[in-house]
Structure 1
Amino acid sequence: MILNKLILSCIFFIFLLYLILRANSPSFKLKNLSISSCNKIPPSLAESILHYATTNKTIQQKHDEISITLNVLEKKSPCNFLVFGLGLDSLMWSSLNHNGRTVFIEENIHWIQKITKEVPSLEAYHYIYDTRLDQAPELLSIGKREDSCKKNLGDPRNSKCPLALTNMPKEVYEIEWDLIMIDAPTGSFYNLPGRMKVIYTVGLLARNRENGETDVFVHDCKRYVEDKFSRNFLCEGYIRGQVRNLRHFTIPSYRSGLVKSFCP
């Protein structure tokens, strides 16, 4: 636990050092002559350092798993970052995407109230899933068999595929996401929602962006649902790497019509 806290502190202080050095570089100063020479820590970063320095709780992902997403954030931030799941690491993700928009979707309203009371700056939305983990084999079969799940790849709200989530908060559909992290809903027992529909819907969101590509991260990818559904609906051909339980996909836009097949 102490080691994890030290690692997190190091990550934030390195990021802080980067911001300060960038702010003191000649090119930065030329562009910001009207700005005060006093460099302050960004509020989100200061809040994160204080939060993780004083908490006794350990976040779920390991250091090398976090590093995969951090590497992408370093290239793309500030950006639009969608996270399925609200947890002890949420403030970290929001802070690492400094000046970007980070949105969290969470199934447990009481957990949202608890976390946002501790960290009011987080943008979180409640959503109740209508699936059970024991439906996974049937949903996998439907997704692989039905034409509506492989050919109509536009806005998920207009999809006829039974795997598409069509009534999530409007922010999910109206923003083009640069990064998406799938770390929810819960899926450890047969009567919990599982991530079947989330994984499929994220694939639609990525393919439906105007142009460019979306980096998608699937946590717990050694479990049946996360493994099978991500390989089939985010596609093995789009896998960029995996460390421990975190799998990284890069999915291109399909809006141009240049990409014809559901999977490469």
Structure 2
Amino acid sequence: MKNVNNSNTRLILLHPYIQKQGSSNRLWLLAFISFLTTAFVVTLIYTREYSTTAVASAATTTFSPTTTAYSNAPLPSTVINTLLHYASKSNDSFRMSYPELKPISDVLRKCSSPCNFLVFGLTHETFLWKALNHNGRTVFIDENRYYAAYVEQKHPEIDAYDVQYTTKMSEMQELMASTREQVRNECRPVQNLLFSECKLAINDLPNHAYEVDWDVILVDGPREEWPNGPGRMSAIFTAGVLARSKKGGNPKTHVFVHDFCGEVERAYSEEFLCRENLVESTEKLGHFVLERMDPSSFQFCGNRTQRLHHPAH
């Protein structure tokens, strides 16, 4: 067997004399050739599998950390500015202008990753908020169940839920009065809204929504502004309670109220977000920063004598 691979042996195996031997010799030859062929094929497969595995392993080792780091990296400033530029270039009065978009974008940009962003309202800016909160959790709340389902079906990356508002804008004064009466009970500023019976509380969100420590909350819905429309009373009250009831994360929550010039938005922001927490405002956007409160607290605002005034033009 030592000489099987040298040239003389191969010459003898192929010599015509061998072909004249009996059937047993031919069978032996065929078996030997089959053995060599099988060994060659097995060796070839093993070598290719080993090479593929080695290359894949090397690629994972080499590129995986870079890819992960890239996917977790914040959006570059040029990308953010481009998104804001094109999102604000419209004559549609329902779209936010650049001065309204920029403060929200700045807060999201500085928010520690992952950033928890809750938005009341599915609007023209929905995809912008999702993009700007890169690597974070963005959840949208809308009053139209059919539209929320449509958006989620067409855009699975959008996390949207519908709520059934029971309030009416025409009842804004009565609702505020009843909430003041229940401020030490069902309408207290620190509570689990899932079990609340306060008329302004939104308690039909998915359970996990009440367990999230929201870093940023934007009130830009509901959209209906006629007397029988739900108004934004419940959204503003709920935002104030969620911010004050945080159990972990950053103790501060940024709350933005769009259409800040509206009667409901102004009055309910004053009542439940409070003048002392207003850090900046324009005619159309109010920016509040609320801090986590002790569960024994029963007062939304520290200074009830202050009032929210329209900014000077």
1:101 pairs with one of 112, 129, 137:
137
| Paired positions, count | 227
Match of 2:269 in 1: 230
Q: How much has 1:114 moved relative to structure 2?
A: 4.0
Q: How much has 1:36 moved relative to structure 2?
A: 5.5
1:263 equivalent in alignment to 2:301: yes
Q: How much has 1:169 moved relative to structure 2?
A: 2.3
Q: Tell me the TM-score normalised to structure 2 length.
A: 0.64
> Which consecutive unaligned segments of at least 5 residues does structure 2 have?
1-62, 303-313
The DSSP-based 3-state class of the residue aligned with 1:130 is coil
Match of 1:170 in 2: 207
Q: How much has 1:41 moved relative to structure 2?
A: 11
Higher relative contact order (CA 8 A, sep 6+): 1
Q: Could you say if the C-alpha distance between residues 38 and 56 of structure 1 is closer, same or farther in structure 2, counting changes exceeding 3 Å?
A: same
2:101 pairs with one of 63, 66, 74:
66
The one-letter code sitting in structure 1 at the alignment partner of 2:105 is L
Q: Tell me the TM-score normalised to structure 1 length.
A: 0.75
Question: Quick check: 1:127–1:169 contact (8 Å CA) kept in 2?
Answer: no
> What is the rounded CA distance, in whole Å, between the counterparts of 1:236 and 1:149 in structure 2?
23
Q: Which 10-residue stretch deviates more, 135-144 or 148-157?
A: 148-157
1:35 equivalent in alignment to 2:62: no
Q: Which has the larger radius of gyration?
A: 2
Match of 1:26 in 2: none
Match of 2:257 in 1: 218
The one-letter code sitting in structure 2 at the alignment partner of 1:94 is K
2:123 pairs with one of 77, 84, 87:
87
The one-letter code sitting in structure 2 at the alignment partner of 1:35 is T
Match of 1:202 in 2: 239
Match of 2:111 in 1: 76
Match of 2:157 in 1: 121
> What is the rounded CA distance, in whole Å, between the counterparts of 1:113 and 1:239 in structure 2?
34
The one-letter code sitting in structure 1 at the alignment partner of 2:286 is R
- Give the alignment's Cα RMSD to 1 decimal: 3.2
Give matches, 1:113-192, under 5 Å: 113-147=149-183, 148=185, 151=188, 153-192=190-229
> What is the rounded CA distance, in whole Å, between the counterparts of 1:39 and 1:263 in structure 2?
43
Q: Percent identity?
A: 33
The one-letter code sitting in structure 2 at the alignment partner of 1:216 is V
2:293 pairs with one of 250, 254, 261:
254
The DSSP-based 3-state class of the residue aligned with 2:66 is coil
In the TM superposition, what whole-angstrom CA distance separates every residue of 1:48-71 from its partner, at most 9, and x where no partner exists? 97xx69x98956111101001111
Q: How much has 1:181 moved relative to structure 2?
A: 0.4
The DSSP-based 3-state class of the residue aligned with 2:174 is helix
